[in-house]
């Protein structure tokens, strides 16, 4: 039996006890960043989860959940057509609250229009977003490379599952970005990936250094979008997902995107964070290194 097999087994055995502790009293430090085996995993939030709430409420709820990492949904919390003054004011609100803006998205690049594409990069630059979670087409994606180089802003293409006629899977993204600037890659949505029938863990491994962002969720039925549940209550292989991220020394965000219970998302999001923290604390306690 290999050392890696023993390590994985020991780590998986350690997880349930730590999850139990975290759900009883919230893990000791409510950690938002985990250094495990050379990886630096950051637990954050996609603000689409809070789409029914105003920006000041989003800030408070983010802090309540014990993280400072936030990916902004422009339509909901900082519109793309905001003036420079409005962007500066919003940025100050987040800065004053200690919120780290890790990106924005999903931002769509459906028009083959240089001015339209440039305006979205200018928006991201003003707001200080280091990354755009993007919804391009096969035509517009390669054309974004020049703007990525000019603005030094990463593009992470979000796969949206079987209904997405452009990029349903991470593999469909990788086919195009593999020869483009290394700042162009994937935002793997684990739920949408599972619904295509693709193996989520293998897809993460295949993306490798092109994995620039993650949207985490869980599904009771891995083929049904409407079956989303709090992370840990569904069928997706959450511990194995984190193990693969550790193995490849992932150092970007894992952002919870909680798409259900839009009017009252906090209970489900709290359960999701407790579970994810429990998994990571268990892997840390077991000395898992990939």
Residue-wise pLDDT for 25-64, tens only, equals 444 447 789 999 999 999 999 999 999 999 999 999 999 9
Return the DSSP state at 206: H
Q: Can you list the positions of beta strands (E) in the chain?
A: 33-36, 39-46, 69-72, 100-109, 131-136, 154-158, 184-189, 211-216, 218-219, 228-229, 253-256
What pLDDT score was predicted for residue 9? 67
- The domain spans of the chain are 34-285
Lowest mean pLDDT segment, chosen from 29-33, 104-108, 252-256: 29-33
Residue-wise pLDDT for 139-176, tens only, equals 999 999 999 999 999 999 999 999 999 999 999 999 99
Q: Does domain 34-285 have CATH number 3.20.20.150?
A: yes
Cα(43)–Cα(30) distance, integer angstroms? 10
Average pLDDT over every residue of 59-83: 97
Would you state the structure tokens that stand for residue 85, as one six-digit string? 């003054």
Average pLDDT over every residue of 272-287: 93
């Amino acid at each position: 039996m290999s050392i890696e097999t023993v390590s994985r087994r020991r780590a998986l055995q350690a997880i349930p006890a730590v999850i139990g502790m975290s759900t009883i009293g919230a893990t000791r430090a409510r950690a938002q960043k985990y250094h495990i085996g050379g990886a630096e995993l950051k637990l954050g939030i996609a603000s689409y989860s809070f789409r029914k709430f105003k920006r000041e409420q989003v800030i408070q709820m983010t802090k309540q959940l014990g993280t400072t990492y936030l990916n902004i949904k422009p339509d909901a919390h900082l519109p793309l057509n905001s003036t420079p003054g409005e962007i500066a004011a919003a940025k100050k609100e987040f800065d004053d609250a200690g919120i780290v803006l890790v990106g924005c998205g999903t931002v769509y690049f459906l028009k083959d229009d240089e001015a339209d594409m440039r305006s979205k990069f200018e928006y991201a630059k003003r707001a200080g977003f280091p990354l755009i979670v993007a919804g391009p087409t096969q035509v517009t994606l390669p054309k974004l490379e020049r703007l990525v180089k000019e603005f030094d802003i990463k593009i992470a293409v979000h796969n949206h599952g079987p209904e997405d006629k452009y990029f349903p899977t991470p593999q469909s993204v990788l086919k195009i970005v593999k020869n483009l600037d290394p700042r162009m890659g994937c935002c793997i949505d684990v739920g949408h990936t599972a619904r295509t029938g693709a193996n989520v863990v293998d897809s993460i491994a295949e993306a490798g250094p092109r994995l620039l962002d993650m949207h985490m969720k869980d599904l009771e039925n891995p083929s049904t979008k409407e079956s989303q549940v709090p992370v840990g209550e569904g069928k997706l292989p959450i511990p194995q997902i984190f193990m693969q991220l550790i193995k490849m020394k992932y150092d970007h965000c894992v952002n919870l995107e909680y798409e259900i219970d839009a009017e009252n998302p906090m209970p489900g999001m709290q359960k999701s964070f407790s579970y994810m923290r429990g998994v990571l604390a268990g892997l840390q306690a077991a000395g898992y290194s990939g």
